[in-house]
Amino acid sequence: MKSFMLTLKDKFLNLFLLNKIQTVFPLLDIIITIISYFTAYYIANLIETNYFVFTIDYVYMLLLIIPTWALLLKMMNISDVPRTRSTLSVLFKLLNFNFIGFLLIFLYKHIFNLEIFSHYMIISFTVVNLLSLFILRMIIYRVFKYFRVNGHNVHNVILYADDESDQFISDILIYKEWGFRILMILSDSDKIRKKYGKRVRLLPDKISIKDLIKVDIIDEVIYCKSTVDENRIHDLIQACEEIGVIFRLQSSFSPMSYANAYITNFNNVQFLTFSSSPRNRFALSWKSFMDFWISFSLLFLLSPFMLLVSVLIKTTSKGPIVFKQERVGLRGRKFYIYKFRTMIQNAEKLKARLIEMNESDGPAFKIKKDPRITPVGKVLRKTGLDELPQLFNVLKGEMSLIGPRPPLPDEVEKYERWQLRRLSVKPGITCTWQLFPNRNDVIFEKWMKLDMQYIDNWSLKADFILFFRTILSVFRAGGH
């Protein structure tokens, strides 16, 4: 219990101080802008009280600024939390933003004939807003830097490197606030081997990336060699996209152009980044925010009911109340899933005897009339209420409310390569296939394809619909 609480505390800090701040960052920018507006008026008013009178023109201008700033922040990606950019680059980006804002305010004043609105107010607001947004970013950056240095929100990466990659490797190892952990370097360079061979696992460049990605927990593959073989890069991109691993290619070396690529920066070095999983950071942050607070609220509201279920399980059959089982999560990370126990005490040992009765195709194991299920367990499975303890997995950050179900390790070993991409997003308590009538009758391949469709077409709206459809399915009791 103590270890669980420490884990929960660690995940809470990671979620709340990283994801939650990032979620509200655009809103925080607007709040800071509104405060800057009134601060600028106060400063301007100190110069000449009689000249600066807060009339309806000032209200109109504020109402114009709020949606304009929200749109500019979104278009220019100003609300992204700086990760590897220098302080000067952040400042210059904000200077560009505020210069465009300055011109738009000037235009608004004359287009909408806001004669009383002062030109001095435009200058004052531009300066105050610039300083306020810059200070806010530096504070947030320090917070994020602290937590990334201490191992939160870290990505495991494989590097393709040569002699020219020395500085980039050194930067990743030094700047821990970037949040990258080098698992291995693929290189034939003697220089790289001599310098980093004792600190990082080095393998020959010719080793198959497909085997490495399948065996190790890899979040990203970064290609920073000075020479580029277009055919090989294409194969690497395809291998990464196939199972949902992010691929980055230093853009200054790239002769290629891809529609699904986007630019990222590492200490002012640009990379083309390829990702086949959802990458709307604002929406994903909101998903994390809602996951945490909805699961917390549900646990609080349903605690009397969960206590009743616990009593029924304990008094009607031998064994623990909660069943704990190892599952595979995001990009192969293993964790223990929690469920209300629905089977007899030695159910796992009896599974080997029932293999011939398996009614599911593929690596999954399903039996409609499983003799191991208890009477109470049958009701819990029928309604899906046996999944309620997984709300604790959501609180710990191991799962999401909506997402592909986490598979068993032995199931993953039997996956075809294209099926591994379902591990590219955080697993969930419920997803598309579970809302089908008699969901356990869905063949394995269709189940996998439904998960791929969920990943490819993911949106907050889709999650919202799936969440409420799940609640309805509980009352319909469509499971086995």
Q: How far, in Å, are 169, 295, 331 from residue 243 at the CA level? A: 25, 28, 9
Identify whether residues 41 and 137 lie together within a single domain.
yes
The region that residue 377 occupies, defined by phi over 0 for left and psi between -120 and 50 for alpha, beta otherwise, is alpha
Q: Is residue 342 one of the residues assigned to a domain?
A: yes
**Per-10-residue mean pLDDT, the chain, length 480:** 46 48 73 92 75 79 92 77 65 86 91 86 92 88 72 82 88 81 91 90 86 80 84 84 82 50 63 67 75 87 92 90 90 89 78 65 66 86 88 89 90 82 87 67 77 84 85 65
Residue 44 is predicted with a pLDDT of 79
Identify whether residues 44 and 171 lie together within a single domain.
no
Q: What's the structural domain count of the chain?
A: 3
Residue 358 is predicted with a pLDDT of 63
Identify whether residues 73 and 181 lie together within a single domain.
no
Q: Is residue 163 one of the residues assigned to a domain?
A: yes
Identify whether residues 166 and 229 lie together within a single domain.
yes
Residue 297: other Cβ atoms inside 10 A: 11
Q: Is residue 456 one of the residues assigned to a domain?
A: yes
Identify whether residues 437 and 295 lie together within a single domain.
yes
Q: Is residue 134 one of the residues assigned to a domain?
A: yes
CA separation for the pair 225, 394 (Å, rounded): 39
Q: Is residue 18 one of the residues assigned to a domain?
A: yes
Three-state SS at 179? coil
Q: Is residue 453 one of the residues assigned to a domain?
A: yes
| End residue of a domain, out of 274, 305, 324 | 274
Identify whether residues 345 and 471 lie together within a single domain.
yes
Q: What DSSP string runs through 129-176?
A: HHHHHHHHHHHHHHHHHHHHHTTSSPEEEEEE--GGGHHHHHHHHH-G
Identify whether residues 250 and 173 lie together within a single domain.
yes
- Whether residue 277 contacts residue 284, with contact meaning beta carbons closer than 8 Å, is answered with no
Identify whether residues 309 and 255 lie together within a single domain.
no
| End residue of a domain, out of 257, 274, 291 | 274
Q: Residue 161 sits in which domain range?
A: 155-274
Residue 432: other Cβ atoms inside 10 A: 20
Identify whether residues 204 and 266 lie together within a single domain.
yes
Identify whether residues 230 and 285 lie together within a single domain.
no
Residue 340 is predicted with a pLDDT of 92
- Whether residue 153 contacts residue 147, with contact meaning beta carbons closer than 8 Å, is answered with yes
| Torsion angle of C-alpha atoms 5, 10, 11, 12, degrees rounded to 10 | 80
Q: Please return the burial class of 3, using the count of CB atoms within 10 Å of its CB with bins 0-12, 13-18 and 19+.
A: exposed
Identify whether residues 326 and 462 lie together within a single domain.
yes
Residue 360 is predicted with a pLDDT of 62
- Sign, CA dihedral 257-263-264-266, equals positive
Q: Is residue 379 one of the residues assigned to a domain?
A: yes
Identify whether residues 417 and 435 lie together within a single domain.
yes
Residue 65 is predicted with a pLDDT of 93
Residue 191 is predicted with a pLDDT of 92
pTM beyond 0.85, yes or no? no
| End residue of a domain, out of 228, 259, 274 | 274
* DSSP-derived pairing of the beta strands 220-223 and 201-203: unpaired
Q: Please return the burial class of 257, using the count of CB atoms within 10 Å of its CB with bins 0-12, 13-18 and 19+.
A: exposed
Residue with tokens 């000075």: 226
Q: Is residue 112 one of the residues assigned to a domain?
A: yes
Find the CATH number of the domain harbouring 196.
Answer: 3.40.50.150
